Amino acid sequence: MATTNQPLAIVLDFSRDHFALFGLPVAYALDGARLDQAYRDLQAQIHPDKFVHAGAAEQRLSMQWATRVNEAYQILRRPFDRANYLLLLQGIQAMNSSVMPMDFLEQHMDWSEELAQARSARDVATLERLERALRIEARAYQSRLAEEIDQRHDYPRAAETLRKLRFTDKLLAEVGAAYEEML
Amino acid sequence: MALLQISEPGLSTAPHQHRLAVGIDLGTTNSLVATVRNGVAVVLNDAHGHGLLPSVVRYLKDGGSSVGLTAQAQATEDPHNTILSAKRFMGRGIKDIPDLATMPYQFVDAPGMVQIRTAAGVKSPVEVSAEILKVLKARAEASLGGELVGAVITVPAYFDDAQRQATKDAARLAGLNVLRLLNEPTAAAIAYGLDNAAEGIYAVYDLGGGTFDISILRLTRGVFEVLATNGDSALGGDDFDRRVYCWILEQAHVHTLDDHDKTLLMSRAREAKETLSEHATASITVVLSSGEIVDLSLSEAVFNAMTASLVNKTLLPTRRALRDAGLSVEEVKGVVMVGGSTRIPRILAAVGEFFGQSPLTNLDPDKVVALGAAIQANVLAGNKGGDDWLLLDVVPLSLGLETMGGLTEKIIPRNATIPTARAQEFTTYKDGQTAMSIHVVQGERELVADCRSLGRFELRGIPPLVAGAARIRVTFQVDADGLLSVSARELGTGVEAHITVKPSYGLSDDEVARMLRDSYSHAEEDMSARNLAEARVDGQRLLEASEAALRENGATLLGERERDQIEQLMLTLRLALGRDDLAAVKRATEALNQGTVEFAARRMDTSVKQALTGQRLDSLEL
């Protein structure tokens, strides 16, 4: 076999976006099984366990790559982080603004109060009802994000939806903490 | 005309022989070494046929030591110099050890890690552990008939950074090349999963002599993915023994105990616990130094009552791990029991009730961790069989920094898949501030005081600016062993200061060197011989790796000049390896390392591309 004098051009770039890293289209809608499979295929090639006998340079690169793949995977598989990342790719820092519609804030203040009461009263039934309501709301925001980002490309609107999702996620985390206290 | 020599793909020109590698379970109560022989993982026994090595080291007046059964047999006669359960002291300060009073040792408060005064001098828990590892290493080399290329050493999943670093230091002290630190429940999952071709969500409940771990894993076609881990690094079978010990004192109304009595009662307490795993009652008979006789009978019901809170203490981390994994009990397909303490019938019952299914106990709970470690060591050493798999493990406890007001700022959250890195920017709070103190902590609590302090370092040379103008980026990197390194640099003005810390509880390189010297009777020559041997192993490894890399990608990824340069560096290293010049070996190794950086980067890119192409082909085939 003939060898060339020119090294093969390397198309892969460490700074490419997370979607390209996994060979996925840049979109909110995600084929989770395909992401999982691509993640495992990548780690199977680059994980430090595959380089225990390699030289120091390859070991360092393997750690950097595996670190990067882990980070990208975590961002893509979580709806909130994925949407936030997509907006960042559009140059929008969704979390830099704190303007929220009044009716939304009122609803959340009601829920917060309810949560605090349920927490001190150790009222599991109320916690469960709250959790259900919050999950329904979170899902609604997620499908709205898919529409605003993938179909309408209305990024400012998507940023507002994302801020709402963050409020909801935070309350859900507090419900979780309340359950934990009761364990 | 030159003939082209064509080699068959897959047949390397230098077929490497089977590399000797072992898995070591460095346990609180017992330790084991295992290897893969003819494709099967086996525990290696000593000359008397014993697999378990009691993790007991007795230090003698002449400076020597005995390890294992002999040391254990003399524990009652020589309690001050016979160290049991040293694993409990690894990476721990004196105030971290809750039950000092029941132990006969003369503890010495040392910065970072507690030490123990013995007939052979003051010993660090790292040195005690190294004695155990040395015996296992010698056992393995005698049994396998050659030098080991390396070992996988297991640690409790819930071990923090200090405890992991201490374990790695102990291995280094014992002259072992650590291929990987592996979490005990993950090791058990490998042994179990590969044995049973398991798929789905599994929980590994690991209650050892001194530590408790719970790990939730997803097993999918050759991938072992830890989803969450939790536990208590100071809860184990020893605590059950201590409950029985206290019960004996209470029942027998004995007050004045010498250290001989304490050790004797403690071992009787352990025997009683073990008896109760198979019988309904256990009798406890002891003659104390004072001549007093203790004669008691302990029933299973009384034992269960006095240890109920300990059993419950394991269920709380179990709930937390499930919550962190975002799973409910019903989604768990199987529960694997690991560790000698899971033989206690009440524990088996409690775990069964919690998960609503009978736990799996078909592998020996004392051996399963060592067997899994051996299987992983075999793969890491490069002895690939037909099966190839991947382990994805996590950070057990959040890592962070101290910020204003003694609060913790988490940088890497618990259960992040390793290796992982996270950076955070901070700023100065005073005008003209030129230094910043960085305090690294580990734990889940809000207050720094409630977390484990891993180390402090100072970033100096920050340009004097008004408060808030300097930008300092602190980066945390956790490697595949779960070990942390922290670096910080100032970005604001382009002036860079950079420091990488090894957390301060760990032994400094000087300390390890000192311990290494102490462990050799005729210091100087042995040390330099050892340094040369280690450098040769490193150089040889790099040479082999480079040869393999050239065979695989040399033709496609390198130009002729580039290839010539690398081959020249390899030749220089090969020549240096043949001589007794430490500096030359190191220099040539470093030169080859540097000279292959670009080649390594191209190879890595190719691997990434292959992974994606393979993936696309797979999805096309569907």
Chain B residues inside the 8 Å CB shell of A49: 180, 379-380, 390-391, 480
Query: Are B182 and B42 part of one and the same domain?
Result: yes
Q: Which of A6, A42, A67 has its CB closest to that of B421? A: A67
Contact across the interface for B596 and A57, Cβ inside 8 Å: yes
In a domain? residue A89 = no
Q: Which of A7, A11, A46 has its CB closest to that of B557? A: A7
Q: Average the pLDDT over B313-322 and give the result.
A: 93
Query: Are A73 and A99 part of one and the same domain?
Result: no
Cα–Cα distance measured from residue B272 to residue B14, given in angstroms and rounded to the nearest whole number = 57
Query: Are B572 and B452 part of one and the same domain?
Result: no
- For residue B614, is pLDDT > 70? no
- For residue B28, is pLDDT > 50? yes
Residues whose CB falls within 8 Å of the CB of residue B277, separated by 6 or more in sequence, listed in order: B343, B344, B345
Query: Are B442 and B537 part of one and the same domain?
Result: no
In a domain? residue A82 = no
Cα–Cα distance measured from residue B367 to residue B340, given in angstroms and rounded to the nearest whole number = 9
Chain B residues inside the 8 Å CB shell of A67: 419-421, 477
- For residue B454, is pLDDT > 90? no
Cα–Cα distance measured from residue B183 to residue B156, given in angstroms and rounded to the nearest whole number = 6
Percent of chain B at pLDDT > 70 equals 89
Chain B residues inside the 8 Å CB shell of A8: 556-557, 602
Confidence of residue B429 (pLDDT cuts 50, 70, 90): confident
Q: Which of A7, A42, A55 has its CB closest to that of B608? A: A42
For residue A78, give Cα distances in angstroms to A30, A173, B478: 10, 14, 22
Query: Are B93 and B186 part of one and the same domain?
Result: yes
- For residue B535, is pLDDT > 60? yes
Q: Which of A37, A71, A74 has its CB closest to that of B615? A: A37
How far does A159 lie from chain B, in Å, by closest CA?
23
Query: Are A68 and A36 part of one and the same domain?
Result: yes
Query: Are B380 and B409 part of one and the same domain?
Result: no
Chain B residues inside the 8 Å CB shell of A41: 611-612, 614-615
Q: Which of B480, B600, B608 has its CB closest to that of A45? A: B608
The enclosing domain of A43 has a CATH number of 1.10.287.110
Closest to A46 in 3D by CA, of A62, A23, A22 = A62
| pLDDT tens-digit readout, B177-190 | 999 999 999 999 99
3-state secondary structure of B297: strand
Query: Are A100 and A177 part of one and the same domain?
Result: yes
Cα–Cα distance measured from residue B204 to residue B185, given in angstroms and rounded to the nearest whole number = 6
Instruction: Please identify, among A10, A44, A77, the residue that sits at the C-terminal boundary of a domain.
Output: A77
Q: Average the pLDDT over B368-386 and give the result.
A: 87
- For residue A3, is pLDDT > 70? no
User: Where does A31-154 have alpha helices with state H?
Assistant: 32-46, 56-77, 79-89, 102-121, 124-146
- For residue B236, is pLDDT > 70? yes
Closest residue, chain B, to A52 (C-alpha) = B380
Q: Which helix (H) or strand (E) holds B181?
A: strand B178-183
Contact across the interface for B614 and A41, Cβ inside 8 Å: yes
Contact across the interface for B480 and A179, Cβ inside 8 Å: no
Contact across the interface for A57 and B594, Cβ inside 8 Å: yes
Query: Are A70 and A107 part of one and the same domain?
Result: no
Contact across the interface for B596 and A45, Cβ inside 8 Å: no
Between residues B92 and B256, the one the model is more confident about = B92
Query: Are A62 and A118 part of one and the same domain?
Result: no
Q: Provide the chain A residues 3-32 that lie in CB contact (below 8 A) with chain B.
A: 3-8, 10-12, 21-23
Between residues B495 and A44, the one the model is more confident about = A44
How far does A155 lie from chain B, in Å, by closest CA?
27
Closest to B443 in 3D by CA, of B418, B394, B409 = B409
Q: Provide the chain B residues 362-421 that lie in CB contact (below 8 A) with chain A.
A: 379-382, 388, 390-392, 416-421
Query: Are B443 and B565 part of one and the same domain?
Result: no
In a domain? residue B425 = yes
Contact across the interface for B608 and A8, Cβ inside 8 Å: no
In a domain? residue A87 = no
Q: Give CA B104 to chain center in angstroms.
A: 27
Total number of domains constituting chain B = 3
In a domain? residue B150 = yes
> Best interface-test mutation with A: which of B152, B390, B415, B540 has the largest number of A CBs within 10 A?
B390
pLDDT attached to residue B234: 85
- For residue B277, is pLDDT > 80? yes
Query: Are A49 and A111 part of one and the same domain?
Result: no
Burial (Cβ within 10 Å: 0-12, 13-18, ≥19) of residue B237: buried
How far does B114 lie from chain A, in Å, by closest CA?
33
Q: How much is the pTM?
A: 0.85
In a domain? residue A101 = yes
The enclosing domain of A175 has a CATH number of 1.20.1280.20
- For residue B92, is pLDDT > 50? yes
**DSSP letters spanning A11-41:** ---TTS-HHHHTT--SSSS--HHHHHHHHHH
In a domain? residue B297 = no
How far does A111 lie from chain B, in Å, by closest CA?
22
B423 close contact with A: CB closer than 8 A: no
A93 close contact with B: CB closer than 8 A: no
Chain A residues inside the 8 Å CB shell of B382: 52-53
pLDDT attached to residue B268: 93
Total number of domains constituting chain A = 2
Contact across the interface for B416 and A46, Cβ inside 8 Å: no
Between residues B268 and B497, the one the model is more confident about = B268
The enclosing domain of B572 has a CATH number of 1.20.1270.10
Residue A64 lies in domain: 18-77
Record the tokens describing residue B155, joined without a space: 């640690």
Confidence of residue B616 (pLDDT cuts 50, 70, 90): very low
| Pairing of β B200-207 and β B334-338 | parallel
- For residue B156, is pLDDT > 90? yes
pLDDT attached to residue B96: 83
The enclosing domain of B190 has a CATH number of 3.30.420.40
- For residue B512, is pLDDT > 50? yes
Contact across the interface for A22 and B179, Cβ inside 8 Å: no
Q: Which of A40, A67, A74 has its CB closest to that of B390? A: A40
Q: Provide the chain A residues 121-140 that lie in CB contact (below 8 A) with chain B.
A: none
Cα–Cα distance measured from residue B316 to residue B314, given in angstroms and rounded to the nearest whole number = 6
- For residue B484, is pLDDT > 70? yes
Query: Are A70 and A119 part of one and the same domain?
Result: no
Closest residue, chain A, to B5 (C-alpha) = A1
Instruction: Please identify, among B509, B529, B547, the residue that sits at the C-terminal boundary of a domain.
Output: B509
A38 close contact with B: CB closer than 8 A: yes
A110 close contact with B: CB closer than 8 A: no
Q: Which helix (H) or strand (E) holds B180?
A: strand B178-183
User: Across the strands, what pairs with B21?
Assistant: B150
Rounded to the nearest integer, the mean pLDDT of chain A is 85
Query: Are A106 and A176 part of one and the same domain?
Result: yes
Q: Average the pLDDT over B45-68 and give the result.
A: 93
Q: Give CA B29 to chain center in angstroms.
A: 16
Question: Rounded to the nearest 5°, which phi and psi values hold at A67?
Answer: -60, -45
Instruction: Please identify, among A77, A102, A124, the residue that sits at the C-terminal boundary of a domain.
Output: A77
Q: Average the pLDDT over B333-357 and give the result.
A: 94
Query: Are B35 and B154 part of one and the same domain?
Result: yes
Contact across the interface for A54 and B545, Cβ inside 8 Å: yes
| pLDDT tens-digit readout, B192-214 | 887 777 889 999 999 998 889 99
What's the Rg (C-alpha) of chain A? 22
Closest to B140 in 3D by CA, of B455, B327, B381, B486 = B381
Cα–Cα distance measured from residue B238 to residue B234, given in angstroms and rounded to the nearest whole number = 9
How far does B620 lie from chain A, in Å, by closest CA?
12
Contact across the interface for B605 and A67, Cβ inside 8 Å: no
Query: Are B433 and B527 part of one and the same domain?
Result: no
Cα–Cα distance measured from residue B318 to residue B322, given in angstroms and rounded to the nearest whole number = 6
In a domain? residue B286 = no
Cα–Cα distance measured from residue B369 to residue B301, given in angstroms and rounded to the nearest whole number = 31
In a domain? residue B306 = no
pLDDT attached to residue B335: 95
Amino acid at A22: F
Confidence of residue B368 (pLDDT cuts 50, 70, 90): very high
Q: Which helix (H) or strand (E) holds A181?
A: helix A155-182
The enclosing domain of B498 has a CATH number of 2.60.34.10
B40 close contact with A: CB closer than 8 A: no
pLDDT attached to residue B420: 94
Query: Are B150 and B191 part of one and the same domain?
Result: yes
Q: Which of B220, B419, B558 has its CB closest to that of A70? A: B419
Query: Are A104 and A68 part of one and the same domain?
Result: no
Contact across the interface for A65 and B604, Cβ inside 8 Å: yes
Closest residue, chain A, to B417 (C-alpha) = A70
Least confident of A55-59, B249-253, B320-324, B495-499: B495-499
Contact across the interface for B420 and A70, Cβ inside 8 Å: yes
Query: Are A102 and A62 part of one and the same domain?
Result: no
Percent of chain A at pLDDT > 70 equals 91
Q: Average the pLDDT over B314-324 and give the result.
A: 92
Chain A residues inside the 8 Å CB shell of B416: 70, 74
Instruction: Please identify, among B467, B482, B509, the residue that sits at the C-terminal boundary of a domain.
Output: B509
Between residues B469 and B191, the one the model is more confident about = B191
Q: Hey, what long-range contacts does A87-90 have (CB within 8 A, 24 or more apart)? A: A87/A149, A87/A155, A87/A158, A87/A159, A87/A162, A89/A17, A89/A26, A90/A155
Cα–Cα distance measured from residue B417 to residue B117, given in angstroms and rounded to the nearest whole number = 40
Integer distance in angstroms from the first to the last C-alpha of chain A? Answer: 67
Q: Give CA B8 to chain center in angstroms.
A: 40
B20 close contact with A: CB closer than 8 A: no
| pLDDT tens-digit readout, B133-153 | 999 999 999 999 998 999 999
| pLDDT tens-digit readout, A103-161 | 888 888 899 999 999 888 888 888 899 999 999 999 999 999 999 999 999 999 999 99
Residues whose CB falls within 8 Å of the CB of residue B241, separated by 6 or more in sequence, listed in order: B266, B269, B270, B273
Query: Are B62 and B137 part of one and the same domain?
Result: yes
In a domain? residue B236 = no
Residue B50 lies in domain: 21-195+363-386
Confidence of residue B252 (pLDDT cuts 50, 70, 90): confident
Percent of chain A at pLDDT > 90 equals 52
Helices (H) and strands (E) in chain B, counts: 15, 27
In a domain? residue B275 = no
For residue B211, give Cα distances in angstroms to B32, B156, B188, B247, B620: 16, 7, 15, 22, 48
- For residue A43, is pLDDT > 50? yes
Q: Average the pLDDT over A88-110 and give the result.
A: 86
User: Across the strands, what pairs with B335?
Assistant: B203
Chain B residues inside the 8 Å CB shell of A1: 555
Query: Are B41 and B188 part of one and the same domain?
Result: yes
In a domain? residue B163 = yes
pLDDT attached to residue B494: 64
Within 10 A of B573 (CB to CB), how many other CB atoms are there? 25
Q: Which of A45, A48, A71 has its CB closest to that of B611? A: A45
pLDDT attached to residue B459: 81
Q: What is the 3-state secondary structure (H, E, C) of B543-591?
A: HHHHHHHHHHHHHHHCCHHHHHHHHHHHHHHHHHHCCCCHHHHHHHHHH
Rounded to the nearest integer, the mean pLDDT of chain B is 86
A99 close contact with B: CB closer than 8 A: no
Query: Are B583 and B496 part of one and the same domain?
Result: no
- For residue B116, is pLDDT > 80? yes
Task: List active site positions of B.
Answer: 25, 87, 184, 206
Contact across the interface for A22 and B612, Cβ inside 8 Å: yes
Question: Rounded to the nearest 5°, which phi and psi values hold at B334?
Answer: -155, 155
Instruction: Please identify, among B509, B536, B569, the residue that sits at the C-terminal boundary of a domain.
Output: B509
E strand map for B427-567: 436-442, 452-459, 472-478, 484-490, 499-501
Between residues B50 and B469, the one the model is more confident about = B50
In a domain? residue A26 = yes
Chain A residues inside the 8 Å CB shell of B594: 57
